[in-house]
Structure 1
Amino acid sequence: MITKKQFNDNLIQNILSDCGSRGIMKSQSFFENICEELLEEGELTNNYTSAEFHRETSKGIIEVFGYDYDEERKILTLINQEFFQQINDNVGLTKQEIENKLNRSRRFLDLSFEKRYQQLEETSPAYSMAFKIYELLFEKSIDKICLMLVTNGENKAKKNIDLLKEINGIPLDFKIVDLTYLYNIFTSNNEDNDFYVDVDLPYLIAEDKEDYSSYLTMLNGEDVYQIYDKFGQKLLEQNVRTFLQFKGSVNKGIRTTIEKEPDKFFAYNNGITATASEIYIENNRIKRLANFQIVNGGQTTSAIYSSKKKNNIDISKVFVQVKLSVVKDLNVHNQFVSKVSEYANTQNKVNKSDFFSNSPFHKDVKEYSRRVWAPANNGFLQKTKWFYERVRGEYLNEQAYLKESEKKSFERENPKSQLLDKTFLAKSENSWNRRPDVVSKGAQYSFMYFADQISTKIEENNSAITEGFFKEMVSRVIMFKRLEKLISDAHWYKQSYRAQTVTYTIALFSHYLNTQKQLLNFEKIWMDQCISEELEIILLEIAEIVYDQINLPKDGSTNIGQWCKKASCWHEIKDTYLDFDIPESILTTRETLRVTTREDKKLKKLDEGINVQSMIAQLLGDDCWKEIYDHYTTYLEDYNVSPLQMDILKKMFEGNLLPPTEKQSKILYIIYNNAIQDNIINSKF
Structure 2
Amino acid sequence: MAEDRDLKKFASDLHSEIADRALGDAEGGDFTENAFVDVVTEQLADIGMIENPITCHFTGKVGTGNVRVSGHAIPDDGERIDLIVAIFRGTGSLATISSADVTRLAGQGARALLAASRQVHLELERASDRFAMMERISELLAAGTKQARVIVITDGSCSVRSLDPATVAGVDVSFEIYDIRRLMRTMRSGQTREVIDIDLAKLGMPPIPCVEMPPGAEPYETYLAIFSGDTLYELYETYGPRILEFNVRAFLQATGKVNRGIRDTIRDRPGYFMAYNNGISVTADEVRTDFVGSVTVITGFRGMQIVNGGQTTASIHRARKRDRLDLSRVHVPAKITRLPPESVEEMVPQISRYANTQNVIQEADFSSNEPFHIAVERLSKDVWVPGERTRWFYERSRGQYQTALNIEGTTEARARAFRERTPPSNRISKTDLARFLNSWSRLPHVVSGGIQKNFIAYMRRMRESRGAKWEPDEGFYRDAIAQAILFLAVQRIVRREGFPAYRINITTYLVAYLSHRTSGRLRLDMIWQHQSLSNGLETLLRTWSHAIDTQIQSSAAGRNVTEWAKKEACWNALRQLDLPIDGDLPEEWGSDAKSLSADESEASQDDHASSAACMRLSAEQWFAIHLWGIRTGHLAKWQSGIAHTLSSYAGNGWERPPTAKQARHGVRILEIAAEQGFEGELPDTNT
TM bracket, shorter-chain basis: 0.7 to 0.9
Alignment equivalent of 1:509, drawn from 514, 517, 521: 514
Matched letter for residue 399 of structure 2: G
* 2:328 alignment counterpart: 316
| Worse-matched range after superposition: 314-323 or 182-191 | 182-191
Query: Structure 2 matches for 1:112-261, cutoff 5 A?
Result: 112-143=116-147, 145-155=148-158, 165-168=166-169, 170=171, 172-188=173-189, 193-199=194-200, 200-206=207-213, 208=215, 209-239=217-247, 242-246=250-254, 250-261=258-269
| Worse-matched range after superposition: 386-395 or 116-125 | 116-125
Once the two structures are superposed, residues 413-453 of structure 1 have per-residue CA deviations (whole angstroms, 9 ceiling, x without a partner) of 32222212111112111211111111112111111112212
Q: CA deviation at 1:205?
A: 2.5
Separation in 1, partners of 2:279, 2:467: 31
Q: 1:211·1:329 contact (CA, 8 Å) conserved in 2?
A: no
Q: 2:438·2:447 contact (CA, 8 Å) conserved in 1?
A: yes
Separation in 2, partners of 1:182, 1:4: 10
Separation in 2, partners of 1:75, 1:343: 30
| Worse-matched range after superposition: 529-538 or 51-60 | 51-60
Matched letter for residue 393 of structure 1: G
* 1:276 alignment counterpart: 284
Once the two structures are superposed, residues 158-179 of structure 1 have per-residue CA deviations (whole angstroms, 9 ceiling, x without a partner) of x999999543455555444332
Separation in 2, partners of 1:459, 1:161: 45
What SS is found at the alignment partner of 1:551? helix
Aligned residues: 572
Separation in 2, partners of 1:119, 1:8: 39
Matched letter for residue 396 of structure 1: Q
| Worse-matched range after superposition: 424-433 or 104-113 | 104-113
- The higher relative CO (CA closer than 8 Å, separation ≥ 6) is in 1
Are residues 1:15 and 2:27 paired?
A: no
Alignment equivalent of 1:542, drawn from 541, 544, 555: 544
* 1:595 alignment counterpart: none
Q: CA deviation at 1:355?
A: 4.2
Q: CA deviation at 1:254?
A: 3.2
Alignment equivalent of 1:49, drawn from 19, 33, 54: 54
Q: Report the CA distance shift for 1:164/1:257 in structure 2 as closer, same or farther (over 3 A).
A: closer
Matched letter for residue 549 of structure 2: Y
Q: Report the CA distance shift for 1:170/1:254 in structure 2 as closer, same or farther (over 3 A).
A: closer
Gaps of 5+ in 1: 377-381, 591-685
Alignment equivalent of 2:526, drawn from 514, 524, 532: 524
What SS is found at the alignment partner of 1:275? strand
Once the two structures are superposed, residues 614-668 of structure 1 have per-residue CA deviations (whole angstroms, 9 ceiling, x without a partner) of xxxxxxxxxxxxxxxxxxxxxxxxxxxxxxxxxxxxxxxxxxxxxxxxxxxxxxx
Separation in 2, partners of 1:183, 1:529: 35
Separation in 1, partners of 2:254, 2:106: 36
* 1:659 alignment counterpart: none
Separation in 2, partners of 1:276, 1:224: 16
TM-score (norm 1): 0.74
Counting aligned pairs with the same residue, the percent is 29
Are residues 1:4 and 2:7 paired?
A: yes
Q: Report the CA distance shift for 1:281/1:473 in structure 2 as closer, same or farther (over 3 A).
A: farther
Separation in 1, partners of 2:175, 2:571: 38
Q: 1:353·1:451 contact (CA, 8 Å) conserved in 2?
A: yes
Q: Report the CA distance shift for 1:432/1:227 in structure 2 as closer, same or farther (over 3 A).
A: farther
Q: Report the CA distance shift for 1:512/1:231 in structure 2 as closer, same or farther (over 3 A).
A: farther
Q: Report the CA distance shift for 1:213/1:489 in structure 2 as closer, same or farther (over 3 A).
A: same
Query: Structure 2 matches for 1:92-491, cutoff 5 A?
Result: 92-95=96-99, 97-98=101-102, 101-143=105-147, 145-155=148-158, 165-168=166-169, 170=171, 172-188=173-189, 193-199=194-200, 200-206=207-213, 208=215, 209-239=217-247, 242-246=250-254, 250-283=258-291, 284-328=296-340, 330-331=342-343, 333-344=344-355, 346-376=357-387, 383-400=389-406, 403-404=410-411, 405-459=413-467, 462-490=469-497
Once the two structures are superposed, residues 320-348 of structure 1 have per-residue CA deviations (whole angstroms, 9 ceiling, x without a partner) of 112233333624x3443333333335134
Matched letter for residue 340 of structure 1: I
Gaps of 5+ in 2: 201-206, 593-687
| Worse-matched range after superposition: 102-111 or 526-535 | 102-111
Separation in 1, partners of 2:363, 2:185: 31
TM-score (norm 2): 0.74
Separation in 1, partners of 2:307, 2:256: 20
Q: Report the CA distance shift for 1:465/1:535 in structure 2 as closer, same or farther (over 3 A).
A: same
Query: Structure 2 matches for 1:613-624, cutoff 5 A?
Result: none
Once the two structures are superposed, residues 325-382 of structure 1 have per-residue CA deviations (whole angstroms, 9 ceiling, x without a partner) of 3333624x34433333333351345544344244211210121122222234xxxxx7
What SS is found at the alignment partner of 1:578? coil
Once the two structures are superposed, residues 279-315 of structure 1 have per-residue CA deviations (whole angstroms, 9 ceiling, x without a partner) of 3323332233444444443443343233334422212
CA RMSD, Structure 1 to Structure 2 (Å): 3.5
Matched letter for residue 525 of structure 1: I
Q: 1:42·1:236 contact (CA, 8 Å) conserved in 2?
A: no
Q: 2:195·2:302 contact (CA, 8 Å) conserved in 1?
A: yes
